[in-house]
Amino acid sequence: MTWVNAILQGIFLGGLYALFACGLSLIFGVMRIINLAHGDLAVLGAFLVWSVTVTAGADPFVALLPVLPVMLVLGYLLHRTVLARSLRGGPLTPLLTTFGLAIVIQNGLLQAYSPDVRSLGGAAGGLATGSWRLTDQLSVSYLGLLVLVVAVLVLGGLHLLLRRTRFGREMRATAQDPDTAALVGIPAQSVYAKATAIAVATATLAGVFLAVRSTFDASSGPTQLIFAFEAVVIGGLGSIWGTLTGGIVLGVAQTLGATVDPQYSILAGHLVFLAVLASPRGRAVIR
Amino acid sequence: MEIHATRRDLLRATGLGLTGTMLSACGGLGSDNSSDENTGTLKIGFVSPRTGAAAGFGEPDAYVLDLARKALAGGLTAGGTKYSVQILDRDSQSNPQRAAQVANDLINSDAVDLMLTTSTPETVNPVSDASEAAGVPCVSTVVPWEAWYFGRGAKPDEKNAYKFTYHFCFGVEQFHSMYAHEWPQVPTNRKVGVMWPNDSDGNAIRAALGPLLEQEGFTIVDPGAYTNGTNDFSAQIARFKAEGCEIFNSFPIPPDFATFWRQAAQQGFRPKICQVAKTGLFPSQIEALGDLGIGVAGGAYWTPTYPYASSLTKAGGKSLADGYRTATGKQWNQQLGPSLALFDVAAAALTATGNPKDRAAVARTIGTLDVETPVGRLRWGQGPNANVVATPILGGQWIKSTDSRDKVEFVLVENSSDPNVPTAAKLQQYGRR
């Protein structure tokens, strides 16, 4: 039963990883930028939600409603003002830009919010600590299930957006060949800016869930970035749904590894990541 | 999403990212080597984590530095000569490489006469190592002394491993004494579920504290060393529940404890005593847990009820806590005590040395120093070895604050390693307050 619980908790954890990973996957897929500031943007979102929660005394998920549009706009402006310029400088420039952006965000947050650790878990009340106890050893936490459902909805929504809408077609066309897409009247920069806006908004969602699960401070961003990378690579870059699979595989690997011995938890995740890279499927994708 | 991107693209781009990181870490080379030859000025370097993961420790530094600078504004008299004193504070960014770099800059470019450093092995050990190598006297605190003394390469039977670096802090023996006196205050089955991480603190505690607690009649249930930054603790919780642990002990980083403690609530693990170290030091870390934080037990190396005062600034106890609140609007924080104590040691060592510009002489003076500080009277030479003074850590519990300005407050429940500090209450079972 311990193993069943480990797998269940791993799936819930995978939902969080997938939520972190999808923005990363989207930006890389459309623009070929590894956004090293992704984790820090998530933490920035969590801080804004925290501010609204404290000043308005609101539930964190209510506080998310005004913050999400702000982060969408922020993502849009981020591309228009910073990323678009750096994209013109070759492949290394955007990477250094996002690396610098990460440092700026971390230190800006430290200045604005002090180094105190914070959490949204207290404000979320019973949601953060409550669960359905199926048996003594098997429990479904409200929060874990909520994260998983939100991850499925966000990734499903993105999938439909890319597959079924005009904007999705434009995004896919731009991702394949921005110059040819421009010939038929699709402005690449506008598509990029909207993709960045969506990615930053999903990062905010992930940041808020992390903040409800745990605590966060100005330097919390980079820790989660590595797991998001692994989820993206394990799931493959071919499909949005792959990100969900990748996150869940990573989460389950970590919880199963921990059931064998806690010191194998993170290691098990890394090993699955390497195994996927070395597998025939992985080699087939690496051309 | 049909997007032409391969894993190789991603990895290539990631590799570029890592290169960028390393490039930036190499920045700051080639700083100018102009040293101040003004012999009438004594320079004190102060390195602490002001940003990065351990920034919480550095929070009160600005206030303490301000107190020290005011107290030293008139200079110091040593060997009949009056010296002006300059304090150069630097941020280690919670990063060992950066800590070593700023320490070397202070030594080589600024030619400091004395180095002070505090908080976590990541900052303190590299600064101490750089000072030892350069022959600059260095005083440090807030790293368990074993992690500082043995962590830097001293052999178990060595009693005088370092010539220039000195330390004052609690160690495993003080933790042992605290837990042995605190846990029996609540009736339990004496089964202790432990989460000791796979880092220098966790492994030192596993090797040294575990056997001592078993001698006291506690059963240690140790699922194994986990990696800091783990996001799921279901395996440990299942084990603790299966073994029926009624005491929980951990030395985690703050986010790991929050993740664990919420999952424990979700999965129905509710020990009678929840004793944490390394996290639960500062009010913000407990406030962040919401209702789950009330009743968590922790340790303190300074509280406003310590009956000692700084020999340099005369601040201590309640006046130090009140001064900090007036200046910053924040609740007291136990870092105030040891950070101010560093400057007491610095002033005492420099004035007691005939020629405070003689680094070897200053180092020898520290080895025999006897000085009053907010954390108590520090006397080097009394053991556990020539470089270290073992200071107390006292057990306490976080309760809902009785002061309307604060959410939580820390009350001492145990004072075995310094009976001069009064206790305010008995340990209460978790969830009973």
User: Tell me: the pLDDT tens digits for B222-234?
Assistant: 999 999 999 999 9
A219 part of contact set with chain B, CB < 8 Å? yes
> Which spans in B306-378 are helix H?
317-328, 336-352, 359-366
- Which chain A residues are closer than 8 Å to B234 by Cβ? 5-6, 9, 255, 258-259
Enumerate residues 94 to 113 of chain B having a beta carbon within 8 A of any beta carbon in chain A: 94
- Entry field: residues in chain A: 287
Which B residues in the span 302-341 are in contact with A, Cβ-Cβ below 8 Å?
Answer: none
- Which residue has tokens 């519990």? B397
Q: Token pair for residue A77?
A: 């402006």
Look up the pTM and report it. Answer: 0.89
For B:44-63, CB contacts with A below 8 A are 51-53, 55-56, 58-59
- The pLDDT tens digits for B274-285 are 999 999 999 999
Residues of B in contact with A2 (CB under 8 A): 235, 238, 242
The DSSP letter of residue B379 is E
Question: What was the pLDDT predicted at B58?
Answer: 93
Give the three-class secondary structure for A237.
coil
Q: How far apart are CA A171 and CA A166, in angstroms?
A: 9
Where in chain A are the domains? 2-279
Question: Quick check: A65 pLDDT over 60?
Answer: yes
CA-closest candidate to residue A117, choices B59, B324, B393, B123: B59
Interchain CB distance below 8 Å, A117 and B5: no
**pLDDT value at position A91?**
84
Q: Which residue has the higher pLDDT, A126 or A206?
A: A206
Question: For the segment B65-94, what is each residue's pLDDT rounded down to a tens digit?
Answer: 999 999 999 999 999 999 999 999 999 999
Verify cis geometry, omega within 30 degrees of 0, for the bond prior to B384: yes
Alpha-carbon gap: B88 to the closest alpha carbon of chain A (Å): 21
CATH number, span B41-170+305-390? 3.40.50.2300
Short-list A211, A244, A212, A252, CA closest to A228: A244
Task: Tell me the C-alpha distance between B138 and B127, whole Å.
Answer: 8
Confidence of residue A212 (pLDDT cuts 50, 70, 90): very high
Q: Which residues in chain B have their CB less than 8 angstroms from residue A105's CB?
A: none
H or E, element range at A255 = helix A240-260
CB proximity B22 to A under 8 Å: no
Per CB-CB distance under 8 Å, the chain B contacts of A92 are: 16, 20
The answer to whether the Cβ–Cβ distance between A265 and B53 falls below 8 Å is no
Domain A2-279 sits in CATH at 1.10.3470
- Distance CA(A49)–CA(A119), nearest Å, equals 10
**Chain A within 8 Å of B360 (Cβ-Cβ)?**
no
User: Are A237 and B265 in contact (CB < 8 Å)?
Assistant: no
B173-300+393-412 topology per CATH: Rossmann fold (3.40.50)
Closest residue in B to A24 (Cα) is B10
CB spacing of B56 vs A237 below 8 angstroms: no
Interface test with A, best of B7, B23, B279, B282 (most A CBs within 10 A): B7
- Spatial neighbors of B397 by CB under 8 A, at least 6 apart, are B295, B296, B297, B298, B410, B411, B413, B425, B427, B428
Q: What does chain B come to in residues?
A: 433
- Residues of chain B in contact with residue A175, where contact means CB-CB under 8 angstroms, are 1-5
Q: How many CB pairs lie under 8 A apart between chains A and B?
A: 226
- Whether the CB-CB separation of B262 and A121 falls below 8 Å is answered with yes
Q: What is the pLDDT of residues A137-162, one digit of tens each?
A: 899 999 999 999 999 999 999 999 99
Q: Residue B59 is nearest to which of A2, A114, A215, comparing CB atoms?
A: A114
Q: What is the mean pLDDT of chain B?
A: 90
- At residue B376 the predicted structure's pLDDT band, cuts being 50, 70 and 90, is very high
Torsion over CA: B124, B125, B127, B128 (sign):
positive
Distance CA(B274)–CA(B255), nearest Å, equals 16
* pLDDT tens readout for residues B105-115: 999 999 999 99
Indicate if the pLDDT at residue B15 is higher than 70.
no
Short-list B314, B330, B334, CA closest to B322: B330
DSSP B422: P
CA-CA-CA-CA torsion sign (A124, A126, A128, A131): negative
Q: Where does the pLDDT of residue B4 fall: very low under 50, low under 70, confident under 90, or very high at 90 and above?
A: low
Ramachandran angles phi, psi of A178, nearest 5° = -60, -35
**pLDDT at residue A11 above 60?**
yes
Over residues A182-206, the pLDDT tens digits come to 999 999 999 999 999 999 999 999 9
Q: Is A266 on the interface with B (CB under 8 A)?
A: yes
pLDDT at B27: 38
CA dihedral for A203, A209, A213, A215, sign (positive or negative): positive
Per-residue pLDDT at B16: 47
Which helix H or strand E contains A96, and what residues bound it? helix A92-113
Q: Is B18's Cβ below 8 Å from some Cβ in A?
A: no
Given a cut of 50, is residue B320 above it in pLDDT?
yes
Task: Return d(Cα B160, Cα B162) in angstroms, integer.
Answer: 6
Residue A282: per-residue pLDDT: 63
Judging contacts by C-beta atoms under 8 Å, the chain B residues touching residue A50 are none
Instruction: Give the helix/strand (H/E) hosting B300.
Output: strand B297-300
Check if the beta carbon of residue A232 is closer than 8 Å to that of residue A50: no
Nearest to B399 by CA among B271, B318, B296, B249: B296
Condensed to tens digits (0 to 9), the pLDDT of residues B297-310 reads 999 999 999 999 99
Residue type, B325: R
pLDDT at A90 over 90: no
Interface membership of B431 toward A (CB under 8 Å): no
- The ranges assigned to domains in chain B are 41-170+305-390, 173-300+393-412
Same fold flag, B41-170+305-390 and B173-300+393-412: yes
Q: Is B187 helix (H, G, I), strand (E, B) or coil?
A: coil
Question: Could you tell me if B430 lies within 8 Å of chain A, comparing CB atoms?
Answer: no
* Confidence check: pLDDT of B194 > 80: yes
Q: Is B17 on the interface with A (CB under 8 A)?
A: yes
Cβ pair B1:A159 closer than 8 A? yes
Is the pLDDT at A238 greater than 90, yes or no? no
Q: Establish if B165 touches chain A: CB-CB under 8 angstroms.
A: no
Residue A109's pLDDT band (cuts 50, 70, 90): very high
For chain A, the 3-state helix, strand and coil shares in percent, each to the nearest 5, are 80, 5, 15
What are the tens digits of pLDDT across the range B17-58? 444 444 444 433 333 333 444 458 999 999 999 988 888 899
Give the C-alpha separation, B97 to A287, whole Å. Answer: 38
- Whole-number pLDDT of residue B34: 39
Considering chain A, what is the average pLDDT of its residues? Answer: 92
